[in-house]
Structures are given as C-alpha cells and as structure tokens.
C-alpha cells in the first residue's frame, strides 16, 4: 500500500524546501516483506501554485461584495464629481470658491481611486488595455508618487523595455502603491531603485507564468524590511502593519497584475530593504501614446440620449451635456430608450449619440439594449457607461457594438472627450 507524507528538508546552503515522500512496501515472491522503496520529490512549485490559488480565491470572494459596493458608490460619486467639475466652469479661477472646488474635486478623485481598488477585486472590471511604454509609465508614476517626499528614484533601463498591453491607469496604481510603500519604509528618505528587464520565461523558471516574453519591473528600497512572518500575508486584503492605511494597496496590486496575465512577488530582509518584482507579458504591437495636448473642453451640438436607472446620474450627465451644447433627453432603462430612439428617428429628429448604463436594476441594461438598438439602426453611435460589471464589456466594448466607453464617476472634460470622439466617428 502506497503511503505519502510531506516533510520540510534543507539544502546544503541552509534553505528549507517542501518535499513529498512516497513509501511503497517491497515484498518477495512469497509475500514476505523484505523492505521499502522511498521516493522523495521536491514540491516547491506545487506548494507555490496552491498558495496562489488560495490567494486568488480569497480575492474573488471579497470581490463579489466589493464590486456591488463600488457600483453604488460610483453612481453617487458621478453626481458629486460631475457637479463639482461643472460648477468650476461658472466660477472665477482666482476666487476662494474656486480653490475650495479644486480641493473638493481632489477629494472626490481620491475617493474614485479607492473605489477603483475595490473594483480590482471583482470578477469584472477587466483591464482596458492598450499598448504602452513601461519606461514612460514608471517614470511618470514614480514622479507623482514621490511628490513632496524626502526620497528620490533612480532609474535603470539597461535594455530598451519591450511594449506591454496594459490598462495604464491600473498599472500606474500598482507602481504608485509600491513606490509609496518604499518611501514609507525609509522615514528619513532614501533612494528607490526602479529598473526594467526583458526576460523570457521557460520551463526552468519556478514562477507561475506561461512561457513567453515578459517585461520585469523591479522596485527596491533600502528601508526597514518586512518581517519573515508577514511575507506570506502582505498580498492579503486588509492586512497592514501601518497605523494608517486601508490594507488594500498590495492586495489590489496583486489582483491587477494577475488580471494582466502577469506575476508579482517580493523579497525582503529586515534592516536591509525590500524588492518587489512585477512581470507583465510583452507585446509585439507598436506603442500608442495618448494626445493630451488639448486641455480645453470639447463643445458640440446634436442630440444625445442618456439611459441610466439612477436619477442623480441622469440629472448631472444631462446638465453637463447641455453645458457643452447638446440637446439632451433621458430615460431610465433599455425599453424606454429604444422606444424613444425609434420615435425620434421616425420624426426626423434622430439622436446622434446614446449613452447607456450597463447595469439596470429591474429593467433592460446596455448589453441587451444595444442589440435591439442596432437592429433598428445599424449605424447607431452608442457609448457604454458603468461603475461596475461582471462582464468584460467595458474592456472589449467594440466587440459588443459600442463606439465608446466612459467609466463612472466621470468629470465634465472626460465626458466631453468621449462624446466628441463618438460624434465624429466615421
């Protein structure tokens, strides 16, 4: 009878590793026990995979709760942030009122970032990817994260980093989290080393990644280090050793990198410092940089139909679009929107753009409504909007017939840009 046991063994260099011992009895031809056969197997890889699976299951469970909270909160934030950004354009930039509005807007954006960390735990919220430069992104993220800090960054790019397909906002969140943590680990300030390296993962790599090309990002500090007993917990939701902080930073970073098909790990020694390594799949596509040169609002004209089950969102979105020059109509759910769109088209006053909420309580949402709408008018220009979704529609909106996407909560400028782009869609 086969017996199996697990033990921890020690290499010659003193490092401990897990093993599995399989023991099989050895009998002679007469059935007499003459010995045993023992096989020892290094199961480091398997144990690592089990830990990663358990970690992912924890995050998925939390995500079910977090996603629902974030969806409702983002609807409220849309009303808050939208109203603030709209009032700013009626206020003298040199006035005290304008300064207070700026502070309120900053607080709302910070709340949006916290909500985004909750969304990364959810089964939805898939990364909205495009091909980006890691060299540029790491420099920009580090610069913003260390604003006003005693610490500084040193960058090392020995290889020209390959492009990656990633959600720029989410990867920025990861790098910022790690830079801020590195800064906090050095209370008197210090040097944070940020480097990139092009690597090819194959069977010889003892990390849970598919074979292929990756860009490795390393962030190293010479701070206080992380105690050994905490290393297995640092990516767990709400685990923190800080007096202030939510404990979501590293957990959300882990979730983001996993959803990008990558891997994040840490090495640390007390009193010496900590290194976080991030692996992101490399891309063969060309880098597409966003044009941020135009800082003005995009005003326009035409008719826009808004479909959203939250009155606060309908009201502020309508006011913002009216401010931009559009004629606006609002509906609560999909069937109402389809009926209104059809009547407007028949009356010779068609809508130029439709903005649809993806998730409607007690009614037809955007996923179902766009199918009906495109059946009526294959040329309909529809923008999808949501604070949360279990479906990957926000990331792959074109596959579902949408021409644009705007995530809640959004400011006046963000709304003006997407409506202008879709209105002028060829």
pLDDT in tens, 274-298: 999 999 999 988 875 554 333 578 8
- Token pair of 42, please? 């290094």
Q: pLDDT, tens digit, for every residue of 364-401? A: 999 999 999 999 999 999 999 987 644 578 878 999 99
User: pTM of this prediction?
Assistant: 0.57
Query: 15 is written with which tokens?
Result: 């490092």
Q: Are 115 and 77 in contact (CB under 8 A)?
A: yes
State the DSSP code for 282: B
| Residue 419 and residue 383 in contact, taking contact as beta carbons nearer than 8 Å | yes
Separation CA 303–CA 350 (nearest Å): 7
Q: How far apart are CA 233 and CA 256, in angstroms?
A: 17
**What domains are defined for the chain?**
3-42 (2.10.70), 47-119 (1.10.287.130), 134-248+256-281 (3.30.565.10), 303-423 (3.40.50.2300)
Q: Are 183 and 146 in contact (CB under 8 A)?
A: yes
- Would you write out the chain's pLDDT as a tens digit for each of its 426 residues? 677 888 888 888 888 888 988 888 888 888 888 888 888 888 888 887 777 777 666 666 666 666 667 777 888 889 998 999 889 888 888 899 989 998 888 888 777 766 766 665 554 456 778 889 899 889 888 887 887 788 999 999 987 889 998 888 789 889 988 999 899 999 889 999 999 999 999 887 888 898 999 999 999 999 998 888 888 778 876 556 554 444 567 887 888 899 899 999 999 999 899 999 999 999 988 875 554 333 578 898 999 999 999 999 999 999 999 999 999 999 999 999 999 999 999 999 999 999 999 888 888 999 999 999 999 999 999 999 987 644 578 878 999 999 999 988 888 988 999 999 999 876
- Number of neighbouring beta carbons within 10 Å of residue 385: 25
- Residue 6's beta-bridge partner residues? 20
- The full length of the chain comes to 426
- Spatial neighbors of 50 by CB under 8 A, at least 6 apart, are none
């Amino acid at each position: 009878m086969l017996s199996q046991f697990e033990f921890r063994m020690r290499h010659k260099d003193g490092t401990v590793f897990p093993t599995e011992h399989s023991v099989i009895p050895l009998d002679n031809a007469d059935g007499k026990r003459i010995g045993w056969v023992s096989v020892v197997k290094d199961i480091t890889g398997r144990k690592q995979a089990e830990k990663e699976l358990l970690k992912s299951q924890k995050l998925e469970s939390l995500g079910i709760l977090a996603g629902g909270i974030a969806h409702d909160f983002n609807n409220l934030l849309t009303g808050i942030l939208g109203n603030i950004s709209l009032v700013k354009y009626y206020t003298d930039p040199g006035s005290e009122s304008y300064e207070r509005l700026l502070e309120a807007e900053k607080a709302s954006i910070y709340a949006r970032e916290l909500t985004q960390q909750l969304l990364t735990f959810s089964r939805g919220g898939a990364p909205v990817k495009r091909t980006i430069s890691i060299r540029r992104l790491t420099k920009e993220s580090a610069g913003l994260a260390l604003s006003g800090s005693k610490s500084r960054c040193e960058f090392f790019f020995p290889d020209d980093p390959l492009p990656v397909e990633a959600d720029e906002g989410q990867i920025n969140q990861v790098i910022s989290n790690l830079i801020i943590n590195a800064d906090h680990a050095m209370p008197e300030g210090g040097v944070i080393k940020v480097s990139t390296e092009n690597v090819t993962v194959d069977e010889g790599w003892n990390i849970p990644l598919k074979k292929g090309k990756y860009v490795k990002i390393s962030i190293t500090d010479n701070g206080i280090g992380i105690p050994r007993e905490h290393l297995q917990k640092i990516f767990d939701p709400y685990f923190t050793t800080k007096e202030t902080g939510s404990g979501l930073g590293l957990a959300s970073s882990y979730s983001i990198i996993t959803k990008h098909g990558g891997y994040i790990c840490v090495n640390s020694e007390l009193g010496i410092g900590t290194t976080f390594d991030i692996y992101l799949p490399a891309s063969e596509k060309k880098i597409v940089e966003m044009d941020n040169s135009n800082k003005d609002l995009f005003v326009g004209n035409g008719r826009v139909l808004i479909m959203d089950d939250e009155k606060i969102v309908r009201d502020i979105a309508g006011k913002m679009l009216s401010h931009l020059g559009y004629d606006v109509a609002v509906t609560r759910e999909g069937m109402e929107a389809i009926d209104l769109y059809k009547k407007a088209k028949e009356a010779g006053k068609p809508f130029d753009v439709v903005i649809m909420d993806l998730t409607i309580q007690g009614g037809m949402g955007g996923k179902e409504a766009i199918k009906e709408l495109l059946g009526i008018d294959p040329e309909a220009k529809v923008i999808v909007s949501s604070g949360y979704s279990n479906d990957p529609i926000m990331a792959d909106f074109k596959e579902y017939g949408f021409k644009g996407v705007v995530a809640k909560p959004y400011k006046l400028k963000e709304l003006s840009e997407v409506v202008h782009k879709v209105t002028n869609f060829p």
